[in-house]
Amino acid sequence: MKSKILLIVCDGMGDRLIDGRTPLEAAKKPNMDRISAKGINGIMDTVGVGIRPGSDTSHLSLFGYNPFEVYTGRGPFEAAGAGIEMKTGDIALRCNFATIKDGKISDRRAGRDEYGLDELSRDIDGMRIQGTELIFKRCKGHRAVLVLRGRDLSPCVSDTDPEKPEILYKKSTPLDKNPNSKKTAEILNEFTERTVKILSDHKINKERVKNRKLPANILLSRGAGVKPELQSLGERYGLRAACISATSLIKGVCRTIGMDVIEVDGANGHIDSNIHLKADAAIKALKDYDFVFLHIKGTDEASHDGNFNAKRGMIERIDNEVIRRVLQNSGDITIALTADHSTPINLKEHSADPTPIAILGDVRTDLVNSFSERDCSRGDIGRICGRDLMNILLDISNRARLFGA
């Protein structure tokens, strides 16, 4: 009677209107439409009505956790994504390799060029400042993680990442009166100064400049946080759960709530990712797991680049390479298709516009026959909060616990 559950999240897939239609409305996506037509549809505020979610807070919410209660910052999830086991008292931050020129940040991602970043990372890892150990580990692309391990640290410090180019990098400042926050900000600022010195003279950066690449000569950090104490998905729902994602932050969220992370070759989080292999991995994982979460990042990347056609193309690829495969090969399961948030093309940033959601399974099929933001909003699910999704999926798959008698 119980069915397996497959949750497919296309990152940032929701959008607003460009020339009267959203990328989803413009895309040819017969397989997504089949889910809508045979399923039940609605719209979802992943974190809350009018709340612009990050990818971490939205996914926490999609898995049933209240980010307003449990979110401690991006850093710890990046650390978990990078495979660093955080200890109580550790502070983790997400870092970017970036380019500084004439004192200003000229590129927040060092041209997204990965040349030599591994070597740079090795030379940065392992500093000690004010008796604190600094663990530095590179993730994909220009991304990295910094973990501060020592006594009397605090996550209440401001970011050094200004989050936009062409301005000075910021000094970290304490965000409260706790002396630990002052100490942590000092450590972070000294880390930044020391790394600027290490990086600016580094032979890798000389090679980068020689090869007309931007130098990776500063590290910008943000999202300081302690390890969140979260009940696992298994304890919470009795589910054996697996995650398939190329995105370190998302893998980190999933690891933190006890999901197994399945790695897929060629899955890179870009619009040229090997998503059909991710679909195959998900179908395979459904044999061993009760709940499989399949995350596809390309839609969000195209959105941040403001590229309507690329986003529409990515949606069509997902339709053909993921949804078609899943519908053909996964048998009698419960499937939910949605986005973690909207990333409107004209904004190039996350927005709080609700996302479409379609669920296929033992549901009361409604009248919607096309999967898009506006079509789904006329479906019988109505408008729900992301935090309720897991309970709905557990109910539809006949796995929900009875409350009362």
The structure tokens listed for 127 are 């500093």
Are 11 and 315 a contacting pair, CB within 8 Å?
A: no
Q: Which residues inside 73-132 make contact with its own copies, applying CB under 8 A?
A: 73-74, 94
Q: Tell whether residue 306 is a contact of its own copies (CB under 8 A).
A: no
Q: Tell whether residue 231 is a contact of its own copies (CB under 8 A).
A: no
**Binding-residue pattern over the window 316 to 355 for its own copies, x denoting contact by CB under 8 A:** ----------------------------x-xx-xxxxx--
How far the first Cα of the chain sits from its last, in Å, is 21
Q: Tell whether residue 55 is a contact of its own copies (CB under 8 A).
A: yes
With CB under 8 A as the contact rule, the residue among 139, 366, 370, 371 that binds its own copies is 366
DSSP state of 227: P
CB nearer to its own copies: pick between 30 and 48: 48
Q: Tell whether residue 211 is a contact of its own copies (CB under 8 A).
A: no
Neighbours of 268 (CB within 10 A): 17
With CB under 8 A as the contact rule, the residue among 43, 82, 100, 250 that binds its own copies is 43
HSE-CB of 296 using CA atoms within 13 angstroms: 32
The structure tokens listed for 201 are 């003279």
With CB under 8 A as the contact rule, the residue among 5, 7, 35, 47 that binds its own copies is 47
Pick from 46, 10, 35: nearest CA to 312:
10
Question: In sequence order, what are the residues at sequence separation of 6 or more whose Cβ sits closer than 8 angstroms to the Cβ of residue 291?
Answer: 4, 5, 7, 233, 237, 239, 240, 241, 242, 393
Q: Tell whether residue 230 is a contact of its own copies (CB under 8 A).
A: no
CB nearer to its own copies: pick between 329 and 398: 398
Are 399 and 233 a contacting pair, CB within 8 Å?
A: no
With CB under 8 A as the contact rule, the residue among 12, 116, 174, 223 that binds its own copies is 223
With CB under 8 A as the contact rule, the residue among 200, 232, 329, 398 that binds its own copies is 398
Specify the stretch interacting with its own copies by CB under 8 A; choose among 113-121, 123-131, 286-294, 366-374: 366-374
Pick from 12, 30, 53: nearest CA to 324:
30
Pick from 141, 139, 113: nearest CA to 204:
113
Query: Using CB under 8 A as the criterion, which residues of the chain lie in contact with its own copies when the complex forms?
Result: 1, 16-17, 20, 22, 43, 47-58, 67, 71, 73-74, 94, 222-223, 249, 344, 346-347, 349-353, 362-366, 373-374, 377-378, 380-385, 388-395, 398, 400-405
